Amino acid sequence: MSNPPSPPAWTLTAVQELMAAPLNDLLYRAHGVHRTHFDPNAIQLSTLLSVKTGGCPEDCHYCPQSLRYTSGVESEPLLPLDEVVSRAKQAQSAGATR
């Protein structure tokens, strides 16, 4: 597999034009780029695993994982590495690619 070509160098003007573009125009352009490089009808299955739930020492006001706020999220210990690897293998055998 070869590496994709490097993107063109950005000029300040190009960046300013991109930042000023309406969101829907950016979404439309991004959709076109995606369709050019990926099968538009393929779905990629991802599986998420929380290896550490709750008890986070960070002070993010929006996050229910923070130990500083009452959110109802029960704190759980860090999952052991062997369990994480086992669960990743299960996810892969179930069709997850990410």
Query: How is the chain split into domains, by residue range?
Result: 10-40, 43-98
pLDDT above 80: residue 91: yes
pLDDT above 80: residue 5: no
Task: Give residue-wise pLDDT tens across range 36-60.
Answer: 999 989 888 999 998 988 888 888 8
What would the mean pLDDT of 76-93 be, rounded to a whole number? 94
CA distances from 10 to 6, 28, 86, 96 (A): 12, 20, 43, 35
Phi, psi of 16 (to 5 degrees): -65, -40
Would you place residue 2 in the very low, low, confident or very high pLDDT band (cuts 50, 70, 90)? low
| Letter string b/e over residues 39-51, b meaning 16 or more CB atoms within 10 A of that residue's CB | eeeeeeeeeeeee
Q: Count CA atoms within 13 Å of residue 82 on its CB side.
A: 0
Q: Indicate the average pLDDT of the chain.
A: 88
What does the block give as tokens for 91? 């996810």
